[in-house]
């Protein structure tokens, strides 16, 4: 079992974009969220997690969950840059956008855990499958470590669950960046898909 300090160090190494967050407290909370999430699973680094949307969806041919997070964060900022270049300041909190993008999948260590997958599949009637999706578990993680509600909102509503609410500005950017990431990687032939 890795120590929390080792987990935090691994998060910093896997997600160098965390250093783009100027607010030191927020940066620390992002690192803490991922370290906590990893500590509740058998994973010790984000880059050990399969690079896919959900455990049974096509995975990246060459890449991990860390690459996905980094790509989504960069895409979300690219969209923000493009919009602000044309329209000026439209109210995007850039530190919050980094945090939301880097933590949108913070629940994946739980959902992708091989122990949890086996346990759920063993008695679907009792647990469901999955018992709790990464989006919902991500809300738990974000709130547990004290991340702003806006980050918890993005973790919980960046995916299908978000279709039932109105997403925040930063969550809208992350949601669109997440969809663009997977659609583009599929079209570029970068996913392991059956032909």
What distance in Å separates the CA atoms of residue 4 and residue 32, rounded to the nearest whole number?
9
Which of the four CATH numbers 1.10.3110, 1.20.1070, 2.60.40, 1.10.3210 does domain 4-45+65-187 have?
1.10.3210
Q: DSSP letters along 123-147, please?
A: THHHH-SSSS-HHHHHHHHHHHTT-
**Do 138 and 106 form a contact (C-beta atoms < 8 A)?**
yes
Cα 140 vs. chain centroid, distance in angstroms? 13
Among residues 48, 65, 85, the alpha carbon closest in space to that of 178 is found at 65
pTM of the model: 0.96
**Do 52 and 67 form a contact (C-beta atoms < 8 A)?**
no
pLDDT tens-digit profile, the chain (195 residues)? 799 999 999 999 999 999 999 999 999 999 999 999 999 999 999 999 999 999 999 999 999 999 999 999 999 999 999 999 999 999 999 999 999 999 999 999 999 999 999 999 999 999 999 999 999 999 999 999 999 999 999 999 998 888 899 999 999 999 999 999 999 999 999 999 875
């Amino acid at each position: 079992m890795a120590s929390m300090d080792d987990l935090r160090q691994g998060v910093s190494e896997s997600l160098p974009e965390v250093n783009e967050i100027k607010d030191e407290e927020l940066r620390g909370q992002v690192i803490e969220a991922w370290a906590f999430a990893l500590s509740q699973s058998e994973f010790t680094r984000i880059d050990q997690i399969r690079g896919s949307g959900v455990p049974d969806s096509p995975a990246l041919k060459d890449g991990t969950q860390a690459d996905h997070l980094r790509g989504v964060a960069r895409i979300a900022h690219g969209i923000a840059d493009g919009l602000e270049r044309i329209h000026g300041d439209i109210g995007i909190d850039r530190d919050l956008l980094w945090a939301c993008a880097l933590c949108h999948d913070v629940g994946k260590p739980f959902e992708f855990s091989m122990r949890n997958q086996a346990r759920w599949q063993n008695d679907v009637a009792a647990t469901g499958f999955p018992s709790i999706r990464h989006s919902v578990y991500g809300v738990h993680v974000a709130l547990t470590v004290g991340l702003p509600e806006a980050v918890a909102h993005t973790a919980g509503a960046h995916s299908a669950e978000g279709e039932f609410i109105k997403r925040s500005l930063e969550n809208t950017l992350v949601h669109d960046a997440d969809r663009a990431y997977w659609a583009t990687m599929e079209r570029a032939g970068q996913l392991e898909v059956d032909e």
